[in-house]
Amino acid sequence: MTERERRILPICLAAFIAAALLPLADDGYWLALGISVVMYTTLATSWALFSGPTHYISLATAAFFGVGMYTVGAWVGLLPFPVLVLIAGLLGAALAAVVGLATLRLSGVYFVIFTLGLAELARQVVSWVQTTMGTSSGLYVLTDITEPIIYWSLLALAAVIYLIGWRIGRSRLGFALRIIGNDEVVAVHCGIGTARAKVILFVVSGCLAAVIGAIMAPRFAYVTPTQAFSPMLSFQVVIMALLGGAHRLWGPLLGVIPFTIVLDLIAANFPNQTALLLGGAFLLIVYFIPNGVAGLIENGLRRGRSRA
Amino acid sequence: MTGGAPALAVRDVTKAFSGLVAVDAMTFDLAENEVMGLIGPNGSGKTTMINLISGAFGPNSGSIQLYGDDIAGASATAIARKGIARTFQIVRILPSLTVLENVAAGGVFGHRRRWGRELEEEARHLLDKVGLEVSGGAPVSALTYIDQKRVELARALIGDPRVLLLDEWLAGLNPTELKTGIALIEALRGEGRTILIVEHVMHAIRSLCDRCVVMNSGAKIAEGTPAEVLADKEVIRAYLGDDDA
Ligand SMILES: Nc1ncnc2c1ncn2[C@@H]1O[C@H](COP(=O)(O)OP(=O)(O)O)[C@@H](O)[C@H]1O
Ligand SMILES: [Mg+2]
């Protein structure tokens, strides 16, 4: 641990404990908002684990999230919930491995399109299976898991994700990913197995998104493919991560907090224009703050230091 | 183990890009501890030859051996791990990494691998050796062109390569920098490094190279000491164009 990390650690722990106390203070609106914030934080941070250093924009979040949700939907009542979460993680990882091996050799644009198509394909397949094999268009997820438990589970997962990210950042794998993100040609000539490095990170990221989907499932008593595999979710995660700054572990968090609150306001006041406003926000972010809030803060600090 | 095989043995290597034969049945050896020049007019296929040796792409036919080990068509990753390092004609640095990290990049996954303190010390040592006088934590994009080239050379050296490929490493330097650059390669040669250099600067070739291979339109047209090949009629014709010969 570096000197700086040792100084920051107590602050992180304090913030974490404070966040964990939220359900004791309120179990209505604020807890619901808290769940949204932590869910998007975990999703956007695990998305950025892969996409931050590689600059590959994945729109497959909804595919993994949906797989997680449906894992719970399909076997709830048959297996204990923690086991379902574990299975969801394994399925998400397996799906990411297959997709990663097939697509990570593709260049940027093809990858984006493929991942978007993947979520759509998953949605169609699940709908088809449901309507032909079963009779309903969704699955009931009836558990005794309450909102505070969901919130705490997500919060614990967030801690795990930050630990994973911190560990990767100090590892050879993390270094390899940063080199790949800078110049893939240099990376291969330095002896980096680029496909392997990218697939590993994609698997980690896909696995986490599936786990998040599984944890969220009990919140919806009834899950449908449209809800579980919503492309909107993938876009929101990308926007939040970029708004915050995908090149830093703590970046996405800075995007999630303002965005979730604004999104909540938009959805409450302009329910029909959500997609439009979301698209507009995306354009503004990419254009005006390409390195996100984290980039703005870093520039500010640098300028402050050079002036001092 | 190496059993007297040359460091690099290139045999009948051909590479075509949709009809255009960029490298045409090239054959040459590079001996251990030798510094060899690969020269020829623009577009004669030198960079393509470097790309084939370093695995940027595979040849259509022919064989390339590193100490007897066939590497033709292997991935660039595999070839880097076996000990071939290179620089690029148009310098390629890693803009978001620090100077020190740029150098370290070559010493973690390739031929000779280090990590942690040992890696950092070696990176510093190499920065010193290539004559870079900036702090290792500086952003690499702030460097001058020659300093970026130095960083690239240090990145190639940190993996302790068995064969080093330099693609016009001296190009674009002013006369003072050129002198420093030549001295630097001279020092590498003094260490017994095995180097293939693509170069246009004739006096650098004369002073640095034991032997030269000359290419024109993808094919080898001459081979010998620098003095021999530079006096060769066909070489002169290739460089000056048919009209002047
Ligand atoms: N990747 C490529 N795709 C298509 N043509 C190429 C490629 N690389 C090189 N060439 C062509 O091959 C020929 C040799 O180029 P090159 O090896 O760069 O020559 P040199 O380095 O000797 O100047 C040129 O005609 C060039 O246009
Ligand atoms: Mg060239």
- The 3-class secondary structure across chain A, one letter per residue, is CCHHHHHHHHHHHHHHHHHHCHHHHCCCHHHHHHHHHHHHHHHHHHHHHHHHHHCCCCCCHHHHHHHHHHHHHHHECCECHHHHHHHHHHHHHHHHHHHHHHHCCCCHHHHHHHHHHHHHHHHHHHHHHHHHHCCCCCEECCCCCCHHHHHHHHHHHHHHHHHHHHHHHCCHHHHHHHHHHHCHHHHHHCCCCHHHHHHHHHHHHHHHHHHHHHHHHHHCCEECHHHHCCHHHHHHHHHHHHHHCCCCCCHHHHHHHHHHHHHHHHHHHCCCCHHHHHHHHHHHHHHHCCCHHHHHHHHHHHHHHHHC
Would you say residue A137 has pLDDT above 50?
A: yes
Pocket test for ligand 1, best of B20, B21, B220 (most atoms within 8 A of CB): B20
CA separation for the pair A234, A227 (Å, rounded)? 12
Question: What average pLDDT does this structure show over A184-207?
Answer: 95
Residue located via tokens 């703050």: A289
pLDDT in tens, B165-220: 999 999 988 888 899 999 999 999 999 999 999 998 888 999 999 999 999 999 99
Model confidence at A39: pLDDT above 90:
yes
- Answer whether residue B25 shows pLDDT above 80: yes
Residue A259 Cα, gap to closest chain B Cα (Å): 27
Sequence letter at residue B20: L
**Ligand 1 centroid to B145 CA: how many Å?**
23
Mutate which of B24, B48, B165, B169 for ligand 1 pocket (most atoms within 8 A of beta carbon): B48
Contact B108 A183 (CB under 8 A): no
pLDDT at A102 over 60: yes
Pocket of ligand 1 (CB under 6 A): B 17, 20, 22, 40, 42-48
- CB neighbour list of residue A80: distance below 8 Å, 6 or more residues apart: none
* Residue B161 token pair: 């390569």
Q: How far is the CA of B21 from the centre of ligand 2 (A)?
A: 15
Helices (H), B130-201: 145-157, 175-190
Q: Of A14-28, A100-114, A246-260, B74-88, which has the strongest mean pLDDT?
A: B74-88
Interchain CB distance below 8 Å, A185 and B115: no
| Alpha-carbon gap, residue A228 to A217, rounded angstroms | 9
Asked whether residue A106 carries a pLDDT value surpassing 80, the answer given is no
From the CA of B46, give the closest atom in ligand 1.
Answer: 22
Q: Please give the average per-residue pLDDT across A62-88, as a whole number.
A: 93
Q: Work out the minimum CA distance from A189 to partner chain B, whole angstroms.
A: 6
CA of B241 to the centre of ligand 1 (A): 19
The total of other beta-carbon atoms located within 10 Å of residue B173's CB is 18
Asked if B138 reaches chain A (Cβ–Cβ under 8 Å), the answer is: no
Is residue B70 within 8 A of residue B148, CB to CB? The reply is no
How confident is the model at residue B244, as a pLDDT?
44
- Please list every residue in chain B whose beta carbon sits closer than 8 Å to the beta carbon of residue A4: none
Q: Do A189 and B56 touch (CB under 8 A)?
A: yes
Domains identified in chain B and CATH numbers: 1-80+194-240 (3.40.50.300)
Closest-CA residue of B relative to A177 is B105
Residue B17, strand partner residues: B20
Q: Which of B77, B93, B115 sits opposite A191 (nearest CB)?
A: B77
Query: What is the pLDDT, as a whole number, of residue B245?
Result: 38
Please indicate whether, in this complex, the C-beta atoms of A189 and B159 are within 8 angstroms of each other: no
With CB atoms and an 8 Å threshold, state whether B97 touches A182: yes
pLDDT, tens only, B36-79:
999 999 999 999 999 999 999 999 999 999 999 999 999 999 99
Chain A nearest C-alpha distance from B105 (Å) = 7
CB contact under 8 A, B109 and A186: no
What's the whole-model pTM score? 0.89
Please state the rounded mean pLDDT for residues A266-281. 79
Stronger pLDDT, A265 or A148, i.e. the higher one: A148
Question: ipTM above 0.90?
Answer: yes
Which residue is closest in CA terms to ligand 1's atom 3?
B17
Residue B16: phi and psi, rounded to 5, are -120, 140
Whether A95 contacts A67, CB under 8 Å: yes
